A and B are shown apart, each in its own frame.
Chain A
Amino acid sequence: MTTAKEFTLAELIIATGAQTWAADGEVLATGIGPLPRLAAGLAKLTCAPGIMMTDGEAYLVEDPIPLGPRGDYKPKLSGWMPYSRVFDSVWSGRRHAMVTPVQVDRYGQGNISALGGDFKKPKVAMLGVRGFPGNSICHKNSMFLPNHSKRTFVEGEVDVVASVGYNAKNWPEGAKPADVKLGVVITDLCVFDFNGPDHAAQVLSLHPGVTFEQVQEATGFPLLRAEGMTTTAAPTEEQLAIIARLDPHNVRATVLKGNPAGVRAA
């Protein structure tokens, strides 16, 4: 395993993202969006061979499907996963998704529904809550947010709580808050989780060339330094080769503005 000397920030994110599935065993891994999907594919081929993946539509595959037009490539289908069975997997807890909310707050709550104070007439109508309410209380979820800023990591609470976090007051009277399983949050600046004291956000690793102060400045809620906070590990040449094979059209270069290098210039 040779650490790569040159890599993009997107590739760094994919490589560190793959690690989020490493301890999961046999669960349905769903990476929504190009980088999470590539991260899941890389995980499947390296650190998490047990995870199950789909072709992005309705079938299970053992070989991750490359992104985009695939020429003669024909997926080898190993099982069937129509949406009805996705819900079965979700509700039985055998899934770990990586998702991209538009807003995240200090409780780990996420919003993809709408922006602005008036839900009946939102300033910006977004996707709706989609599957987030159920997903967030039934199975593990990690997050990828491409623009680490106070607009995404908001002060106060998200405008609409689509995915549930560690916020007991949003539960109806008498209901026991679910055992929410939030994995890591990967951004263009760092990797953090909500496993500090009382589920406080804590930075696990800073991407090369990024300072803690810079991350805090871009975050609307307080961050802690996790014990052993480190620098996000650079991908290996082997990982880069797999990523290139899973993304032959270089879609990963279009996700982050300007496709920056993995090591920021000081």
Chain B
Amino acid sequence: MNKEMDLKAVVGDLRDGMTIGFGGWGPRRKPMALVREILRSDLKDLTLVAYGGPEIGMLCAAGKVKKLMYGFVSLDAMPIEPYFRKAREAGAVEVSELDEGLLLLGLQAAGHNLPFAATRVGLGSDVMKYNPHFKTVKSPYDDGEVLLAMPAIKLDVALIHTSRADRLGNTQTDGPDPFFDGLFARAADKVFVTTEVLVDRIGDEYSDKAKSNLFERCLVTGVVKAPLGAHPTAAHDAYGWDMGHLKAYAASATEEGGWQGYVDQYVKGDEASYIASVGGEAQIRALPLPIF
């Protein structure tokens, strides 16, 4: 069994109109190498599901998005992702704006093969109004409470960046917070992971870190070696986010032809040329992890 693939092969497996979920959280641990490969492709009409960061903004800027389902789309220090904002204000994409917890519950329901998750979250707010397909359900027990039936969010594909992986599909993810990568993996028909470090059998070399495994290898379809593949987002404990790069990216959103300029400068080539264009490996590895 060898699940190793390259970026091109993964994107070759994706189809127009697919629903794609992204691991990570805001500008943290996003599978950006795969995002850039999608940017280099003809894929379109995608539905994206995320606790979003620059992956959402970039794919919106490139016109590849039909619909967004999100808890937020943020670059943290820049609270609103600039190209997401542009796409929203232009009315360019359909949106399903969710409470962050509803996104969790929808993914969880999908992963457990359930049609919905019962919750109070969303009731009384405009989440119901702007997701008019959401329905309520009445508790069959004595309390009879009316709850929101959060529909399962089934993904065609989840794309997730990890710290280490092996060719069998086992993964390990460092950092203080696993976020919801496990839920994204379980909600998807296929999971493709990128990884900082790829080995044959992870237990042979990183047995002591098995607790950092967030989802089982049976969920993983393909593994791509993509060191620095989360740049410009943070990948604990390897490197922090590149706020200088993110600021320049954000500034491009306010410039005429800004997105095309960004693509020409950074995305057009391959990952090797990308890494060189943003300062090279040593500079990326020296990016400090954020503190709060």
Contacts and interface: CB of A to CB of B under 8 A. Distances in A.
Of the four ranges (under 10, 10 to 19, 20 to 34, 35 or more), the interface on chain B belongs to 35 or more
Given A82-B177, A128-B97, A114 B123 contact: no
Of the four ranges (under 10, 10 to 19, 20 to 34, 35 or more), the interface on chain A belongs to 35 or more
B84 interface: yes
A159 to B, nearest CB: 9
A167 B85 CA distance: 29
A171 B73 CA distance: 27
Given A127-B80, A131-B101, A178-B120, A59 B176 contact: yes
Interface stretch (A10-18, A50-58, A219-227): A50-58
B73 A128 contact: yes
A253 B146 CA distance: 47
B159 to A, nearest CB: 19
A128 B70 contact: yes
Interface string B158-196: 000000000000000000111110000000000000000
Contacts of A30: none
Given A119-B130, A125-B89, A164-B124, A90 B146 contact: no
Nearest to B179: A83
Q: 4 closest pairs, A vs B, by CB?
A: A56-B292, A121-B91, A125-B88, A58-B176
A43 B122 CA distance: 30
Interface of A: 55-59, 65, 69-70, 82-84, 87, 90-91, 113-114, 118-134, 136-138, 160-164, 167, 170-178, 180
A113 B180 contact: no
Given A82-B176, A178-B120, A128 B71 contact: yes
B261 interface: no
Contact of B25 (A65, A83, A173): A83
Contact of B123 (A56, A122, A163, A178): A178
A172 B136 contact: yes
A132 B99 contact: yes
A128 B72 contact: yes
A131 B291 CA distance: 22
A250 B51 CA distance: 31
Contacts of A119: 126, 130
Contacts of A170: 124-126
Interface of B: 25, 70-74, 79-80, 84-85, 88-91, 94-95, 97-102, 104, 119-130, 136, 138, 145-147, 176-180, 291-292
Contact of A164 (B125, B145, B179): B125
Contacts of A120: 91, 94-95
B140 to A, nearest CB: 14
A161 B95 CA distance: 16
B254 to A, nearest CB: 14
A167 B90 CA distance: 31
A59 B147 CA distance: 32
A25 B146 CA distance: 31
Nearest to A130: B72
Contacts of B101: 87, 90-91, 131, 134
Contacts of A118: 91
B57 to A, nearest CB: 12
B123 A162 contact: no
